[in-house]
Amino acid sequence: MNFVYLSQLLRALLLVVTFESCNAQEITSNILQLEKSIPLQVKGRIDHLDVNLKDQIIYVAALGNNTLEAVDLKTGKVRSIKGLDEPQGVAYIPQTKEILVANGGTGDCVFYDALSFKNTGTIHLNSDADDVRYDSVSKKIYVGYGEGGIAIIDAGTHQQLGDIKLPAHPESFQLDKDLNLLFINIPDAHMVGVVDLKKLTLVNKWLRSTPSANFPMAVDSVNHRVFVGYRHPAKLIVFDGKSGKEISNMAITGDADDLYYDSKTNYVYVSGGSGSINIYEYPKNNIAKQIANVATRTGARTSLLIPQLSLFVLAERADGGKPADLLIYKIDKIQ
């Protein structure tokens, strides 16, 4: 058998297996249209992303490079904040025009002026400052850190307001303001923790031994559904945010690191390091259907959904002689 023909056959079979493993139905590929690729002069792992909507700037926590990259979507120009120590989480605060960067190495949460990059304040956490969420209504910043905690910081005063104690290090966490709850992935404790935002204490634990390694999470705050991505095995489990009961369970791309739900389209996006972006349609009736599987570079698992701009952004780290890139996809809704 011709070697080229054999290679093409194996590739086709691999795509079929990938689609079937994700329970795909009527899979299409026109939802994400690649608009541009912006090169990044960074090496190593890339962690979380955030956006300055007004100026259309993406902030990239380049953990392996010890920098924060500020990428202008309109011009493609990139500016860097250097000398960081394992930057992991990042948040843009529009009211003060500042950037908060959470450093895993030192535990420092450092504020920077978004224009000048001048350091405007620092809060020290004991270790491993990681994922960050900003609530623009209350002007509170939530930072997961250490062996089990989430610090609450006032965005205006740069003061720590409170601390939530957890049984292990938190990964992704999301707020449901209507329920006044914070849902937290705590993989080392094999659980999703539920925190009462008034009491700042755990009020529920959704425990399970398998699947495990629950890292990414998204919340539908209208229908109160919690989307949790697991890695072993690769599963997307949807929970009822009020009762904690499992609503649905489906296979997803491997090594999932980011997960988003768009309430306008009922689309769920999952980016995984195994080399693909899965997109599901997940309506209120909870009958999910995979509608796209977009091939990506292996290891490209960090992403950002920007529904206000109809964009999906994926960070590809340098690999195999290829430089790091920020891929900008335009979202086209299927009619």
Q: What is the pLDDT along the chain (335 residues), one digit of tens a residue?
A: 443 334 344 333 443 334 344 443 446 568 999 999 999 999 999 999 999 999 999 999 999 999 999 999 999 999 999 999 999 999 999 999 999 999 999 999 999 999 999 999 999 999 999 999 999 999 999 999 999 999 999 999 999 999 999 999 999 999 999 999 999 999 999 999 999 999 999 999 999 999 999 999 999 999 999 999 999 999 999 999 999 999 999 999 999 999 999 999 999 999 999 999 999 999 989 999 999 999 999 999 999 999 999 999 999 999 988 999 999 999 987 54
* List of domains in the chain: 24-43+210-335 (2.130.10.10), 45-165 (2.130.10.10)
Radius of gyration for the alpha carbons in the chain, expressed in angstroms and rounded: 20
The answer to whether residues 51 and 74 touch, using CB atoms and an 8 Å cutoff, is: no
Of 40, 91, 85, the residue nearest 64 (C-alpha): 85
Q: Say how many Å lie between the first and final Cα of the chain, rounded.
A: 43
Which residue shows structure tokens 């990259």? Answer: 69
Residue 76 CA to residue 267 CA, distance in Å, equals 28
**pLDDT on residue 27:** 60
pTM here?
Answer: 0.91
**pLDDT on residue 11:** 39
The answer to whether residues 45 and 64 touch, using CB atoms and an 8 Å cutoff, is: yes
**pLDDT on residue 24:** 38
Residue 92 CA to residue 111 CA, distance in Å, equals 10
Average pLDDT, the chain: 92
Structure tokens at 133: 């969420």
**pLDDT on residue 29:** 64
Residue 182 CA to residue 51 CA, distance in Å, equals 22
Provide the sign of the torsion angle of the four alpha carbons 242, 245, 249, 255, taken in this order: positive
**pLDDT on residue 320:** 87
**pLDDT on residue 156:** 97
